[in-house]
Structure 1
Amino acid sequence: MTTATDTLRTDAIAQYRVLGEETDPGLEALARLAATVCATSAAAVNLIDDRLQHTVAVVGIQPGVCSRDDSMCAVVFEDGQTVVVDDARADARFADNPFVTGPLGHVRFYASSPLITPDGVAIGTLCVFDDDVAELNATQAEGLELLARQAVDVLELRRHSHELVRSNDQLTQFAARISHDLRNPLTAIAGQIELAADALAADDTEGATRSLSHAEAAAGRMDGMITSLLAFARLGGARPQRAAVRLSDIVADALDDLESAIEGTHAVVTVDAPSDGLVSGDPALLRVLVQNLVANAVKFTQAAGVSPVIDIAARPSGDAWTITIDDNGPGVAPELRERAFSLLDRGNAGDVPGLGLGLATSRLIVGAHDGRIVLDDSPLGGARVRVTLPSAPVLTP
């Protein structure tokens, strides 16, 4: 029967990604050094799960896999102690073992030191053995223990290397996500600067000043967005910092950043977000959320050949607020709604430009705020995105 400890051990071994792979040179070198230090003909690094012993590095014999019931190391490795047996035939723990009696080997001398992970899980041994009776002095035993700790260090290095590769993959995805989320405020800044230049060319100083002020506000929002997104990435999407956030302000800022996209598609956007609608969250991340959802609604509706109509509403719902974003676009088929939230999965997007990051980012942000996001049918005929976020205490003047 598999125990909880066996499960922990199996999980720990899996993290090292060494089973079924080519022999790690570091582990092989340690096995060779152990045989030299202990003056034996053979040495092995064995990892032991709930059923099998996996020899992942060896010198003096062929590597292989055996049943845990046949393993000599499995008898003693969970004790966490170095074991030295001069003659296995005279030791009751090993006298009937097939590695001693002949079917699998003729081991006489046996010594092992357990491999203990930094979390305290025994996962196997570094063992040395010989067909002749022998002894191990204190210095050799200490050397075996040291080499066993080094074997764990090698395994940990493997694990961290794989984590680094995975982190690099996540970083690549995050870089795409950052560029996606910054595109709208950057477009807003560029548009306002262009308007300011046109105003200056027409000697409209007041208009130029107004446009530059809008550009400065968009730049400030973008700076806050970058700061929050980077902090969010460092935390791996964990809980962001919280404050009382007014939904009407978040929607207004998001629409300012989307001004060019909205005007370019002649979208009609209506907003019904009461000023007392307060949620608990990070304002920059929530602005990214609303920006992504409105931009998606405009983009997919326009791509369907329809003049976009977008309704944004916020309503109290117990101890939470529910924000709905409705559009008159093609909608999302029920069987595709869950899949639409997957990173880089664009569902039935067809030729609509983009990387499929908007909804994936939105779900990540909503989840980090202890909220919920779902896709549904809209009364406008297209898609409805419904987001529920925890309420915040009422702000005092």
Structure 2
Amino acid sequence: MRVAAAIAEVPTAAINLIDLSRQSPLATVGFDGADSPRDESMCAIQFRTGRFVHVADCFADPIYASNPWVTGERGDVRFYASAPLITPEGYVLGTLCVFDAVARSLRPDQASRLLDLADVIVALFERRRHARATADLAAAQERTTRLLETVMDTIDVGLAVTDADGQITSLNRAAQSWHGVAEIPLSSDQITLRGPDGAAIKLAAHRVVDDCDDVIGTVVTAA
């Protein structure tokens, strides 16, 4: 936020997220931020337009003159500018805003740099969101794998799972017991299973999902 304030050459700046009922400052500089009702927010007035807002003198602007952040009830804002935080899908999350207690104007290059900074902030949001989604997906896959392995180990049918190239990726408890080892063989051709009586066991291989290119389930049954 110090970067935004430095760009605008003002003492105060904030990243505000706005929902249906409130404005929440994610980061501030120059003042202590706190949640406030949306109907009192300066940022909420025009943020959905998706346009950069630049008000040199809020006292003289009919849209902002009666706002509690301008009248002194909540603050003493005289100059105000904000860049919308817009996701790639077009959702406006809130604003990057800068303000001051004295009237002033931004130069075009300052406005452009604030818009660029808003894009950087959204990119960081998106990166964090994708990282969280990836972590959640990995955790869900791990839970599914553990559940599948548990189920596989509770049945008495020997089960070998291979990839599309025929490489075995998993043997359940029954298959390991028949094969006599816990290590996974290199390919299905190298499996020599034997039953409890020592007799060779015939492999009956069936694709569990015929249209799946990645995983083939091989069910091992006795001759």
Q: TM-score normalised by the shorter chain: which range applies?
A: 0.7 to 0.9
Q: TM-score, normalised by structure 2?
A: 0.76
Root-mean-square deviation over aligned CA pairs: 2.7
Q: What is the one-letter code of the residue matched to 1:191? A: W
Q: CA deviation at 1:57?
A: 0.8
**Could you list the runs of 5+ residues in structure 1 that have no partner in the other structure?**
1-30, 200-207, 233-252, 260-397
**Matching residue within 106, 127, 132 for 1:136:** 106
**What is the SS of the residue equivalent to 1:40?**
coil
Q: Secondary structure at the match of 2:62?
A: coil
Counterparts of residues 264-275 of structure 1 (less than 5 Å)? none
Shift of 1:190: 4.2
Q: 2:182 aligns to what?
A: none
Compared CA separation, residues 104 and 231, structure 1 to 2 (3 A): farther
- Could you tell me which of 79, 84, 90 is aligned with 1:109? 79
Q: Per-residue deviation at 1:195?
A: 3.3
Aligned to 1:44: 14
1:68 to 38, 41, 47: 38
Query: In the TM superposition, what are the counterparts of 1:354-373 in structure 2 within 5 Å?
Result: none
Counterparts of 2:20 and 2:28, CA distance in 1: 21
The 3 A distance-change label for structure 1 pair 66 and 227 is farther
Confirm or deny that 1:94 pairs with 2:64.
Answer: yes
User: Deviations for 1:264-288, whole angstroms, at most 9, x for unmatched residues?
Assistant: xxxxxxxxxxxxxxxxxxxxxxxxx
Aligned to 1:191: 178
Q: CA deviation at 1:177?
A: 2.8
1:175 to 141, 145, 150: 145
Letter in 1 for 2:53: V
Which whole-Å CA distance do the structure 2 matches of 1:190 and 1:228 have between them? 30
Q: Which has the higher contact order (CA 8 A, sep 6+)?
A: 2
Candidates 67, 89, 98, aligned match of 1:119? 89
Which of the numbers 51, 56, 80 marks the counterpart of 2:26? 56
The match for 2:3 among 1, 19, 33 is: 33
**1:156 is matched with which residue?**
126
Q: CA deviation at 1:226?
A: 8.8
The structural deviation recorded for 1:97 is 0.7
3-state SS in 2 of match to 1:120: coil
Q: Distance in 2 between matches of 1:198 and 1:59?
A: 77
Deviation of 1:167 (Å)? 1.5
Query: Residue 73 of structure 1: CA displacement?
Result: 0.6
When normalised by structure 1's length, the TM-score is: 0.44
SS at 2:31's partner residue? coil
Identity %: 35
1:74 and 1:137 map into 2 onto residues whose CA distance is 23
1:68 CA displacement: 0.9
Distance 1:182 1:71, change over 3 A: same
Separation of aligned partners in 2, 1:188 and 1:56: 55
Pick from 39, 50, 64: which aligns with 1:80? 50
* Equivalent residue letter for 1:56: L
Output the CA distance in 2 between the equivalents of 1:112 and 1:227.
Answer: 56
Aligned AA (1:172): E
2:178 alignment partner AA: G
Report deviation, 1:169.
Answer: 1.7
Aligned partner of 1:110: which letter? Y
- Aligned-partner Cα distance in 1 for 2:114–2:137: 35
Letter matched to residue 161 of structure 1: A
Superposed CA deviations along residues 146-175 of structure 1, whole A, max 9, x for unmatched, are 111111112112212221221222022122
Query: Helix, strand or coil: the match of 2:81?
Result: strand
How far apart, in 2, do the equivalents of 1:56 and 1:229 lie? Answer: 45
Distance 2:87 2:45 in 1: 19
Deviation readout 1:20-68 (Å, 9 max, x if unpaired): xxxxxxxxxxx22111111111110111111111111111110111111
Q: How far apart, CA to CA, are the structure 2 residues paired with 1:226 and 1:42?
A: 60
Q: Compute the displacement of 1:79 (Å).
A: 0.8
1:48/1:123 contact within 8 Å kept: yes
1:110 and 1:130 in contact (8 A); partners too:
yes
Count of equivalent residues = 190
